[in-house]
């Protein structure tokens, strides 16, 4: 302490170059914050403008969405339900696939299994989502779903086909975060269970799985958020028919698909349809933000538990 106090007069002022570099690096780090503030500001401003024409009550409680055919109605629940239907199917498919893959990687992985599983997951994670949409539209639906379900029961576009490919898309996310949290379970806990005569499966089911549960939950919530925000696969596979339905064989329109549909068309930028795009985007942003925040919370809790 004394020594540093004695040294202080010599270097109480950093050279200019040091201060300039630190300031530049800080500016770079601030770009993220500026982006966040900018996104929120744009969405709030434009959404409020939309709400001056269409009442928020009508927007948030209405169940019919008709932005291109008169009479125009803007009930966002029709789009929200389509989004949730696709996301639910995706999560139902991705959870078993992702968790089983994670167990394989974390608990059973000999180098051979690992050398197959890891690249497969990474490749799937890297496929552009529009490719998955193409696959759903021109392979999955005509060659697999139609023969199984029947030609008349499922159309070209369906929530099911979209949900399946989005499920494939989010599986690597669940697998990699769950694997990390399973690996974080201390060895001693597993060995304790083995010492009491548990089989490998019992160790996984009764020790590793409960201990890693918060990480697993976080991965599922994060994957759900990704599924809600997924765009191109859904644009191609789910269709453009906004409706409230629980039937996965129907065509639905998601919030993201609506945004793309409006911006692809010749909709004038000052029209009510174009303004509704911002309100839909604001709703979407709020939904994914809440999911991400919950997931962060859960992850933070799991990190502190064993370290």
Partner 1 sequence: MSATPLPVPGPATVAVERWDPRLTRRRLYGSIFYGACLASIIILLLTLFLILWDVLSQGLPWLDPQFVTGVPSRRPEQAGIFPALIGTIQVVVISGLLAFPVGVGAALYLAEYAGNSRVTRALRTNISNLSGVPSVIYGIFGLALFVRVFGFGFTVLSGALTLTLVILPVVIIASIEAIKAVPDAQREGAYALGASRWQMVRRAVVPAAAPGMMTGIILAMARAIGETAPLILVGAFTFVTFLPQPFEGGYTVLPIQVLDWATRPQADFHGLAAAAIIVILVLMLVLNGLAILVRARLSRHIQW
Nearer to partner 1 among residue 130 and residue 246 (C-beta) = 130
Bridge partners, residue 65, by sequence:
74
How near is the Cβ of 165 to partner 1 at its closest, in Å?
9
Bridge partners, residue 74, by sequence:
65
Nearer to partner 1 among residue 14 and residue 301 (C-beta) = 14
Q: Supply the angle between the helices 16-51 and 272-305 in degrees, to the nearest 10.
A: 130
69 forms part of the interface with partner 1 (CB under 8 A): no
Tokens read off for 272: 């009510």
- Is the CA virtual torsion 121, 126, 127, 128 positive or negative? positive
Tokens read off for 193: 């269970």
Q: Which residue has the tokens 């009491």?
A: 196
284 forms part of the interface with partner 1 (CB under 8 A): yes
207 forms part of the interface with partner 1 (CB under 8 A): no
3-class DSSP state for residue 73?
strand
Between the CA atoms of 50, 52, 53 and 55, what dihedral angle is there, to the nearest 10 degrees?
90
How near is the Cβ of 145 to partner 1 at its closest, in Å?
13
How near is the Cβ of 75 to partner 1 at its closest, in Å?
21
C-alpha–C-alpha distance, residues 149 and 56, integer Å: 40
Site for partner 1 in 132-191 (CB under 8 A): 132-135, 137-139, 168, 171
236 CB-contact burial (10 Å; exposed 0-12 / middle 13-18 / buried 19+): buried
220 forms part of the interface with partner 1 (CB under 8 A): no
How near is the Cβ of 69 to partner 1 at its closest, in Å?
20
Site for partner 1 in 71-130 (CB under 8 A): 96-97, 100-101, 103-104, 108, 113, 116-117, 120-121, 123-124, 126-130
How near is the Cβ of 95 to partner 1 at its closest, in Å?
11
Contact window for partner 1 (CB under 8 A) among 66-74, 146-154, 198-206, 244-252: 198-206
C-alpha–C-alpha distance, residues 242 and 258, integer Å: 9
285 CB-contact burial (10 Å; exposed 0-12 / middle 13-18 / buried 19+): middle
Binding mask 249-268 for partner 1 (x = CB under 8 A): -------x--xx--xx----
Contact window for partner 1 (CB under 8 A) among 54-62, 73-81, 196-204, 209-217: 196-204
Site for partner 1 in 18-57 (CB under 8 A): 18, 21-22, 24-33, 35-36, 38-39, 42-43, 46
């Amino acid at each position: 302490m004394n020594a540093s106090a004695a040294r202080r007069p010599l270097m109480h002022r950093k050279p200019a170059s040091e201060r300039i570099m630190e300031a530049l690096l800080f500016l770079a780090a601030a770009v993220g914050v500026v982006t966040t503030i900018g996104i929120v500001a744009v969405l709030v401003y434009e959404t409020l403008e939309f709400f001056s024409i269409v009442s928020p009550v009508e927007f948030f409680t209405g169940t019919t969405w008709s932005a291109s055919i008169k009479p125009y109605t803007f009930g966002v629940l029709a789009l929200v339900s389509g989004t949730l239907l696709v996301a639910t199917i995706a999560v139902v498919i991705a959870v078993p696939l992702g968790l089983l893959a994670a167990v394989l990687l974390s608990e059973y992985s000999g180098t051979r299994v690992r050398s197959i599983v890891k690249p497969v997951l990474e490749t799937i994670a890297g496929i552009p989502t529009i490719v998955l949409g193409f696959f759903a539209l021109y392979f999955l639906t005509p060659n697999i779903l139609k023969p199984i379900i029947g030609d008349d029961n499922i159309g070209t576009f369906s929530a099911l086909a979209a949900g399946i490919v989005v499920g494939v898309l989010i599986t690597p996310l669940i697998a990699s975060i769950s694997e990390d949290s399973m690996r974080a379970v201390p060895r001693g806990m597993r060995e304790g269970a083995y010492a009491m005569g548990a089989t490998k499966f019992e160790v996984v089911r009764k020790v590793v799985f409960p201990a890693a549960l918060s990480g697993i939950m976080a991965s599922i919530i994060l994957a759900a958020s990704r599924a809600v925000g997924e765009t191109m696969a859904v644009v191609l596979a789910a269709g453009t028919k906004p409706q409230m339905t629980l039937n996965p064989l129907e065509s639905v329109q998601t919030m993201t698909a609506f945004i793309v549909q409006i911006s692809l068309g010749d909709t004038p930028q000052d029209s009510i349809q174009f303004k509704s795009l911002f309100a839909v985007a604001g709703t979407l942003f709020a939904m994914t933000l809440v999911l991400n925040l919950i997931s962060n919370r859960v992850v933070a809790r799991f990190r502190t538990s064993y370290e």
